Structure 1
Amino acid sequence: MKNLYFRITLLLVALFSTEMVFAQTDGDSFFKNLKISGYADIFYKADFNKNGDNTKTSFTVPDNSIEPAMFSLKLVHTSGKFSATADLGLGSKIEAFDYAESGTNLLIKQLYIDYNATDKLKLTAGSWTTHIGYELLDAPDNDIYSMSYAFSYGPFFHTGLKANYTEGSFNIMAGVANPTDLRSSFKRDAGKNFDNKYFIWQLGYAKDKLALYLNGQQGSNNPSDSNVSQFDFVGTYQVTDKFKIGANATLVDITYDSNSTKQKWSSYVGYLKYQVSDLLALNYRAEYLDNKDNYLGLGQSVGNTVFANTISATLSKGSFQLKPEFRFENSSEKIYADVHGKPLKSSGNFLIAALYSF
């Protein structure tokens, strides 16, 4: 892994060095149509029960440790109606995001090509972050640093083909993709490929202060015998210039070919944001998770429900953000533990994250 990171570092140095040379010699060169952006984020979390295993959501499991989460670099090049996007990451967050991958695939957040067939129709081929859910992988784009259960249990990304058609304030997207979170459906050591594909889709409306999206994915995880159907709703409303509300509801049904059994889980999340000033925003998230069928396996042999509350602030100055937060959770079962391993029904932590975007 060290050799891999070293090679990537050399590649980035070569890229920027080449950009400087070409930019000096030809103002209309390749780099005229290249956009580069990115960010770095670091966090520290202190679990009140001093047990890192109490965090059941993505990316913030380490306890009492200063964690370099991710360095992200996004390159977008445009030529006529075509564009190519390479969105790369280094760090523990990208390893958790690409949990099913290895080697250089671990570096990829997104890698896709767009074709703007008309001013209303866009075609995309490659791998991109999911349209499902309210929260996003990139920390600067979220009001709260830690992730919800709705985000954490997927999907993270899709790899395939999709078409998005926009008409005024409405959009419709449909596509075909590999099974959830697989960059490749060819698995040499699996004995059989993941032959089946997923159907992904979105119906959207966004105008002025209101945005509403109905999202979904349906498919079969062949060669395993599970079939997944997920429906997801996201809504936001800008009540005033300073106050915004948001909502996310996701429902997942899983059936098994081998024995016709069924499982399901769902999550319902509400968001509040108040922009106090250009320097300060206050945020609140409340989530109810229904895992009664125990599909998510959150630490008990029986199912459970979770009610999680997060209070957060965002302090911004130029490209820098500081995000402190308090998170408290209660479960119907003892899925948490204290420092000695004693089972508990509740847990809490404090987290602070520093982010720099460019």
Structure 2
Amino acid sequence: MKKIFTLTLLLMSIVLTAQDSTEAEAEKKFTLSGSVDAYYQTYISAPDDVGASFGTAFADQTGFAFGMGNIIASYESGKVGAVLDLVTGPRGASATFNSDIVDGIVNQAYVYWNVSETTTLTMGRFNTFLGYEVIAPAANFNYSTSYLFSSGPFSHMGLKADFALSDDFSLMLAVMNPWDTNNTSTTGEYSFGAQLGYSGQYLNLYYDSGNNGGLGFEVDYTGGFDVSDEFFLGINAAYNDNDGSGFYGAALYPQYATSDDFSIGLRGEYFALHGDEDSVDYPSVIGLTLTGSYTVDSNLIIKPEFRLDSLTDADGGIYGNVVDNDGLAASSLSAFTLAAIYTF
């Protein structure tokens, strides 16, 4: 009888150990995702061979072009994990400046620790918390990007802490290398970021004591509202100052879903540069971008897009090269783009 009891305890111990091992293995999770995009673009108000450009990031080629391919590998074991986001192509090269961190291959690379159910610490390189738009085209409604997004930092290198204060409120605090210093900072300067969120609305703050050699500061609001089941209105507004000069602007993103597979949306943006020089006529621009978004079998997204940028204070462009059919400086530039994005 004693042997039977001992054997029973041994079997129970083996079963419990196996269960613990299975549960531990279940906590480990590896995922692989990514996207590939390509596009065709032609200018309507200027020849394709005169070097015209809107002056915003990405999608600046004419004819058929490759956008970006990226693979995101993530691994989580219990409360800790890591993410490695690798990119290639012109969009990826522009987002990583083509030279920092392994020749423009690494978009994001960070480790994290879920300290508790309400607190997460992240260290490494991560995409910016500023602005409405992001680098990966699959996550944006419009294929081309805004001036606000293009002018802000794309990524940061540092340490951040995310706090879930309640079901509605969240807080993020970060200490990072200076603006667009995504590899190693040799200046001894750092930047600081904060984000306060409430029900999908976010107030972002950024301070940089070493931003391009001067004081850098940016305040940014990003949010949106479901006006109805079919209609969504996104909002972005920002003011940036870098030792007396910078930019400011606002953009609205009304989007209407006509069916489960097709939506149409408009980005209306006002963007301007500012400075301390009274004699300088600082340029500004009004950009209108109309985009359709058609989803095929959940993974393929087709986006036809019309874009018109109109200068309000100066001819010739704001960052970009706005010209007419004769190649001369103009007050507006328009284009048609057809993009295809596949996600997995």
TM-score normalised over the length of structure 2: 0.85
Are the equivalent residues in 2 in contact too, given 1:294–1:304 (CA < 8 A)? no
In the TM superposition, what is the alpha-carbon distance from 1:101 to its structure 2 partner?
2.9
**2: CA distance between counterparts of 1:149 and 1:129?**
17
The residue number in structure 2 matching 1:269 is: 251
Read off the aligned partner of 1:327 and give its amino acid letter: R
Match of 2:241 among 248, 253, 262: 253
Q: Are positions 1:356 and 2:338 aligned together?
A: no
> Which residue in the other structure is 2:13 paired with?
none
State the AA in 2 paired with 1:219. Answer: D
Match of 1:46 in 2: 42
* TM-score, normalised with respect to structure 1: 0.82
Name the CA shift for 1:29/1:80 in 2 (closer, same or farther; >3 Å): closer
* Residue 109 (str. 1) matches residue 107 (str. 2): yes
Task: Give the distance between the partners of 1:59 and 1:263, measured in 2 at CA.
Answer: 24
- The one-letter code matched in structure 2 to 1:343 is A
Relative distance call for 1:340 and 1:62 in structure 2 (3 A) is same
Structure 1 residue aligned with 2:310: 330
**Distance in 1, Cα, partners of 2:276 & 2:328:** 21
Query: Identical aligned pairs, as a percentage?
Result: 28
The whole-number CA distance in structure 2 between the counterparts of 1:103 and 1:232 is: 27
Which has the higher relative contact order, 1 or 2, with Cα contacts under 8 A spaced 6 or more apart? 2
- Measured after TM superposition, the shift of residue 353 of structure 1 is 0.4
For residues 265-321 of structure 1, what are the alpha-carbon distances to aligned partners after superposition, in whole Å with 9 as ceiling and x for unaligned? 1011001010111121000110001224399xxxxx842110010111001012100
Structure exhibiting the larger radius of gyration computed from Cα positions? 2
Instruction: Describe the shift of the 1:100–1:357 C-alpha distance in structure 2 as closer, same or farther (beyond 3 A).
Output: closer
Deviating more after overlay: 89-98 vs 42-51: 42-51
Q: Distance in 2 between matches of 1:294 and 1:91?
A: 38
Shift of 1:148: 0.3
Tell me if the contact between 2:304 and 2:337 (Cα under 8 Å) persists in the aligned partners: yes
Of residues 204, 207, 219 in structure 1, which corresponds to 2:197? 204
Alpha-carbon distance in structure 2 between the residues aligned to 1:154 and 1:203: 18
The secondary structure found in structure 2 opposite 1:33 is strand
Correspondence for 2:9? none
Distance in 1 (alpha carbons) for counterparts of 2:122 and 2:274:
37
Where does residue 288 of structure 1 map in the other structure?
Answer: 270
SS at match of 2:228: coil
Equivalent residue for 1:217, pick from 206, 214, 226? 206
Q: CA deviation at 1:56?
A: 0.7
Which residue pairs with 2:58 in the alignment? Answer: 59
Is the CA contact (8 Å cut-off) linking 1:39 and 1:356 kept in structure 2? yes
Instruction: Report the CA distance between 1:103 and its aligned residue.
Output: 6.3
Residue 35 (structure 1) aligned with residue 31 (structure 2): yes
Task: Give how far 1:352 is off.
Answer: 0.8
Output the CA distance in 2 between the equivalents of 1:124 and 1:158.
12
Task: Judge conservation of contact 1:185–1:194 (CA < 8 Å) in 2.
Answer: no
Give 1:157 shift: 0.7
- By how many angstroms is 1:102 displaced? 4.0
Aligned to 1:243: 231
Deviations 1:150-194 (A, max 9, x none): 0001110111001010022100100100112222234xxxxxx22
The question of whether the paired residues in 2 share the 8 Å contact of 1:59 and 1:92 is answered with yes
Q: Which residue of 2 aligns with 1:298?
A: none
The structural deviation recorded for 1:203 is: 0.3
**Where in structure 2 are there 5+ consecutive unaligned residues?**
1-21, 317-321
